[in-house]
Amino acid sequence: MRQKIVIIGAGIAAHVLASKLFKDSDVTMITKGKWHHSNSYRAQGGVAAAIAADDSWQQHFDDTIQAGVYHNNEAATELLVKEGKTLLEMLLNKGFPADRNLNGSISLGREGAHSKRRIIHAGGDQTGKYMMQFYQQILRNNINLIEDQLAVDCVMENGRCRGIITIDPQNQYIFHSADQVVLATGGYGGIFETTSNDETITGDGIAIAYRAGAKLSDLEFVQFHPTMLTLPEGRNFLISEAVRGEGGARLIDQSGRYIMDGIHPQVDLAPKRYYF
């Protein structure tokens, strides 16, 4: 019997999960905005994988652990970097339009905290948009996508989640029954006054999980980007890490001083934790 699975959220985590499940399950994806209202769609940075001849998963692992100040779950990090190459090759075989060099090889970029060129982009600095569109093509006729409904609470029964309650644009409460409910709602970076996060990223899923009895951890970690243009009219624009990684841009203060000199050996390509 096919299970009913409801996924709350519509970013890359939700899309990848749905692509793994729809052949054997009835999948419904619910998002409070549109499917492209997410940090995933906005993401300019590429996908990191150790596919170059002079690279290895061990080097990728070391870079990742160091960037995480050894707070990382090492088993999960090892799984991530080991399988990265295989997963990327699968995407390429399915037609993901990665940027390529004139000779047809994959263009590998350099970004912060990486000691090697291992960043795969699409559309220059539109990797997130291209990735989301790629998965939308896969899912379009295979799942039920519900937009403009805000998830508010899990429905619990004897310690198990039996569904989710949402509110539609007419402020009507709707119950969606499910065999499994997955929260793939991202963080809460959108609540800050100055942020490059999508405005929909407000921690709804974290609150839902807490009320349902889940244990929360690492809430102090909020994703931020070290370079962003803040304009007077309130519009913020993220400046891609490729500007530093590929273009060699330097970060200076109002007096022209290079702010990362003496802070880290990678200077302007240091892990983000060194910027503040």
pLDDT digits (tens, 9 = 90+) for 246-275: 778 888 889 999 988 888 888 887 776 665
d(CA 250, CA 244): 7
pLDDT bin (cut points 50, 70, 90) of residue 276 is low
The pLDDT of residue 197: 86
d(CA 125, CA 42): 10
Q: Which residue has the higher pLDDT, 76 or 198?
A: 76
Burial state string for 174-213 with b = 16 or more CB within 10 A and e = fewer than 16: eebebbebbbbbbbbbbeeeebbbbebbbbbbbbbbeebe
Tokens for 13, please give them: 């985590």
The pLDDT of residue 18: 98
The pLDDT of residue 234: 67
Sign of CA dihedral 129, 131, 137, 142: negative
pLDDT bin (cut points 50, 70, 90) of residue 85 is confident
% of the chain beyond a pLDDT of 90 = 66
pLDDT bin (cut points 50, 70, 90) of residue 67 is confident
Mean pLDDT score, 128-148: 96
174 in Cβ contact with 163 (< 8 Å): no
- DSSP secondary structure of the chain: -PEEEEEE--SHHHHHHHHHHTTTEEEEEE-SS-TT-SHHHH--S-EE---STT--HHHHHHHHHHHTTT-S-HHHHHHHHHHHHHHHHHHHHTT----B-TTSPBPEE--TT-SS--EE-STTT-HHHHHHHHHHHHHTTTSEEE-S-EEEEEEEETTEEEEEEEE-TT--EEEEE-SEEEE----SGGGSSS-SS-TT-S-HHHHHHHHTT-----TT-----S-EEE-TTS-EEEPPTHHHHTT----B-TT--BTTTTT-TTGGGS-GGGG-
Q: Over 90: is that where the pLDDT of 224 sits?
A: no
Most confident of 51-65, 222-236, 258-272: 51-65
Q: In order of start, what are the domains of the chain with their CATH numbers?
A: 3-40+139-211 (3.50.50.60), 228-275 (no CATH)
% of the chain beyond a pLDDT of 70 = 97
d(CA 242, CA 45): 8
Q: Which residue has the higher pLDDT, 129 or 196?
A: 129
Mean pLDDT score, 70-93: 92
The pLDDT of residue 138: 95
The answer for residues whose C-beta is within 8 angstroms of residue 35's C-beta and 6 or more apart is: 10, 29, 132, 136, 145, 147
Mean pLDDT score, 222-229: 76
The pLDDT of residue 12: 96
The pLDDT of residue 275: 59
Mean pLDDT score, 206-225: 90
